[in-house]
Chains A and B, each alone.
Chain A
Amino acid sequence: MTALPAFESPPVTEVVVSAQFEPLPKFAIPQMGLLWQRFRAQYPRTEQHPALPSVVERLGIRSAMEPQFRFEIEREPAVRLWFLNETGDQLVQVQGDRFIRNWRRVPNSDRLYPRFYNSILPRFTEDYRAFCQFLQDEQIGQPVVNQIEVSYINNIVMGDAWHAHGDLGRMFRGWSRDALLDRTLESINLRASYFLKDAAGEFLGRLHAVIQSGYRTEPGATEDEAVFVFTLTARGRPLGEGEQGMFEFVELAHREIVLSFAKMTTDEAHAIWRMKPA
């Protein structure tokens, strides 16, 4: 198996690992409150948000990122509860059909990306198992996972290598600076979706790549900073039964994202992020 590329200073600002399961009707707001008691020591802060819609990658149906129609359902009491640590860089999200674990980079913090195998995966595993134990203890049921999702969100900040969004080609492969002659690029929003397949060539899910131009305002800054927000999301079904099938997809997803990140960005960008020799 090809060794994964690694970067000393990657531009990643958030990593999400999500397990979606068949709805657990008994896992409602009161039970979420009870769950928080188990997480409270580590995640003392909470927030309440609307629940996310379920998303399934299917063969024969256009990518979940490209709905032909946009339907908006009136708001229901369905809730997504956040458990946050004190510094706000670690987060657990729960709702009736999903368990999500986030790491995010906190502004003005010297905390570096904590690395997938060193921190992100172990912490997801620990918290997910605590969640499952809670469900078992409270006789709510066990999650039957139908989709797993891993997302890496990268903020590629303007610097010496690029000075305007028109310099897209300095950071991303496949984009020519001459694509728009005598025009100033104001904004850009690129999306691509690719099939993910298992070792037997069967459909697993999709890898979604999104490149968006934007501006970032750091606390205390006097000017907005131009950025490219580069998001890679791998979403798909478990690779087998039970927890093992779920974790096998998580590792596959991470691998696909890292390889794609390296392939889609330029050698110039790799030098900025200090790519390590293989």
Chain B
Amino acid sequence: MADETCLNSFDTLPSGFDSGALSDFQVPESSPHPWTYSLSSRTAPRWLNNVLKEIDALRHLERNWDSYGAPRVNRQTLLEAANLLGELARPRTPAPSVVPTSDGAVQLEWHTRGIDLEVRWASPTIVHVCLEDLSGVLAPIDDDLRYDFLPLKAALRELTSRG
């Protein structure tokens, strides 16, 4: 990006983010594979690669994939779902089900260990969370989360701890 955005040419280490500044140095690498993900952390669960592939596969759903006029799944929401899993899943976290919804969203679901947890991306920035805990340890949630993901983090932590 240094070539296309800078009047001066720079040679620095990539900044790691792209804010729209003309001085950004991170260059998105073209890849023969649409998704490139590497497990740099030792705390990732063993199922993560397989689930990421399931998320990846949703890119290929065409319009009307459900025969009822469903739109294509928003690709930014797929990225958000994948990043969330990468951030919050731990080795003992059970694998979620990955479900496309009829309105073009993606949903991650856990129905195990006495917890029903559904996380649906209504948009790239708004996540709807439904939580029921049969043991009563966690308070129910049925709410949109935008900036504060602590309730979701707590739910996944509790789910993980019951493994």
| Given contacts A59-B148, A68-B40, A212-B12, A50 and B28 within 8 Å (CB-CB) | yes
Pair A73/B34 contact, Cβ less than 8 Å? yes
Residue among B10, B18, B35, B152 with the highest chain A CB neighbour number at 10 A: B10
Which residues of chain A (33-77) have a CB below 8 Å from chain B? 49-50, 52-62, 64-76
Please name all residues of chain B whose beta carbon is closer than 8 Å to the beta carbon of A80 when the two chains form the complex.
20
A257 is an interface residue with CB less than 8 A from chain B: no
Q: What is the CA–CA distance of A102 and B13 in the complex, to the nearest angstrom?
A: 22
Are the C-beta atoms of B10 and A229 separated by less than 8 Å? yes
* Residues in A whose Cβ lies below 8 Å from that of B28: 50, 72
Quick one: which of B1-46 are within 8 Å of A by CB?
A: 4, 7-13, 15-23, 28-31, 34-41
Could you give, for residues 136-172 of chain A, a 1 whenever the CB lies within 8 Å of some chain B CB and a 0 otherwise? 0000000000110101010000000000000000000
Contact A70 B37 (CB under 8 A): yes
Contact A93 to B8, CB < 8 A, known contacts A69-B82, A76-B75: no
Q: B53 near A: Cβ within 8 Å?
A: no
Asked if A10 is an interface residue, CB under 8 A from chain B, the answer is no
- Distance A233 CA – B21 CA, assembled complex (angstroms): 10
Q: Report A172-195 CB contacts with B as 1/0, cut-off 8 Å.
A: 000000000000000101010000
Q: Which residues of A contact B112 (CB under 8 A)?
A: none
A151 near B19: Cβ-Cβ < 8 Å: yes
A96's nearest neighbour on chain B, judged by CB, is B76
Contacts of B39-77 to chain A: CB distance below 8 A: 39-41, 59, 75-76
* Chain B residues closer than 8 Å to A208, beta-carbon distance: 17
CA separation between A69 and B56, bound complex, in Å?
Answer: 14
For residue B123, CB closer than 8 A to chain A, the reply is yes
Residue of B nearest to A62 (CB): B87
Q: What's the Cα separation between A86 and B88 when bound, in Å?
A: 47
- Cβ of A246 under 8 Å from chain B: no
Is A276 located at the chain interface by the 8 A CB criterion?
no
For B78, the chain A residues whose CB sits under 8 A away are 73
Are A61 and B36 in touch, CB under 8 angstroms?
Answer: no
A147 to B147, CA, bound (A): 10
**Are B19 and A210 in contact, with the CB atoms below 8 A?**
no
A53 touches B8 (CB 8 A): no
Contact status of A49 and B150, CB under 8 A, knowing A71-B82, A212-B12: no
Please, which residues of chain B bring their CB within 8 A of the CB of A60? 148-150, 152-153
Contact between chains at A49 and B4 (CB < 8 Å): yes
Q: Does A13 contact B (CB under 8 A)?
A: yes
Interface residue from B31, B37, B39, B87 paired with A61 (Cβ < 8 Å): B87
> Which of chain B's residues have a CB closer than 8 A to the CB of A74?
34, 59
With a CB–CB cut-off of 8 A, which chain B residues contact A88? 7
The answer to whether the Cβ of B79 comes within 8 Å of any Cβ in the partner chain is yes
**Which residues in B have some Cβ–Cβ distance to A below 8 Å?**
4, 7-13, 15-23, 28-31, 34-41, 59, 75-76, 78-79, 82-84, 86-88, 123-126, 146-150, 152-153
Instruction: List 15 additional A-B contacts (Cβ < 8 Å) besides A53-B79, A73-B75, A237-B147.
Output: A14-B21, A18-B20, A52-B18, A54-B124, A60-B153, A61-B153, A65-B17, A67-B87, A68-B87, A70-B38, A72-B31, A104-B7, A107-B8, A216-B10, A229-B12
Q: What are 12 A-B residue pairs whose CB atoms fall within 8 Å in the complex?
A: A22-B123, A56-B124, A56-B125, A57-B147, A65-B16, A69-B82, A71-B83, A72-B28, A98-B20, A208-B17, A212-B13, A214-B11
